[in-house]
Structure 1
Amino acid sequence: MNINIDFGNLWDALSAIGTIGAVIVSLWLASREQKIDFSVELSSALGIRDNDSVDESVYLYAEVLNKSKFPLTVEEVGFYNKKKSKRIVVLDQRYLVEGSDKIPTKVDTLETAKYIFEQDKIVKLAKKTWGENVKIRAYVRDTTKKTHYSKKYKI
């Protein structure tokens, strides 16, 4: 009894492998578009008033850029110290300077939200919470409960 199994030719096998590879790549690209991506930058600046006069106070400026393909809502803003594993949460407007975006705020694709803090108030609160000479990060949490951090900033 002779059993003959036909595996086809090499070109059929390669085209099947290519088709499976194309499906995997397309699924990966489709899922990548749904990725949540906020960019958070923390810097300090002097204030400039509406009449172009310079305010002598120093401010901490947190800018949040939505790099996702869909709008996201910022529901929490604050500061974080990795060594102490504690957060200073800003849930209301009392720590924010006039001109800052509200909490919560919806941020469209490739749009920014800006949060401005008086540096003296944040430094005092950070030193009270974490001690002297610490490095902090600004963070935002979106409605999906994902937290996004800035680079370290020495206070």
Structure 2
Amino acid sequence: MTDPLDALLNDIQHKCDDAALDMFGEKTTARWKNPSFARIMNSPDAAGDMAGSCGDTIKIFLKITESKINEASFYTSGCGASIVSGDMACELSVNKTVDQASEISGEDILTALGGLPEDKTHCAHLASSALQEALGNWIGQK
């Protein structure tokens, strides 16, 4: 016998999943549910964080050796669009030089994600800004 509360929660979860698929598409929804780079890094070589006007924050952590990004991770207090944007910013920066990563823009993140809804595109720019701040902080340490 199914508990009515479990059935209700299961129904709500399915509705949320369907809404995410409609909003983000299959690939980006899969990234939202299982981001590869979501974690607070211990002892990063550099970190940068940005707060958006929407209230979301994204923090990017980097491990850098000989001006090459070997590892990246992120933390966000934000919505699904912030999660996928932070995750993609990290993916795009790993194995890049600091100079190459400094060219990663919000538009690059949007393109790599296949786009976001218009009211969520600012999240990609927020992730890019956090990455740029981390890189600037690393350069400032030199």
Indicate the structure with greater strand content.
1
TM-score, normalised via structure 1 length: 0.27
TM-score relative to the length of structure 2: 0.29
Structure that is richer in helix per residue? 2
Rg (Cα) greater in structure: 1
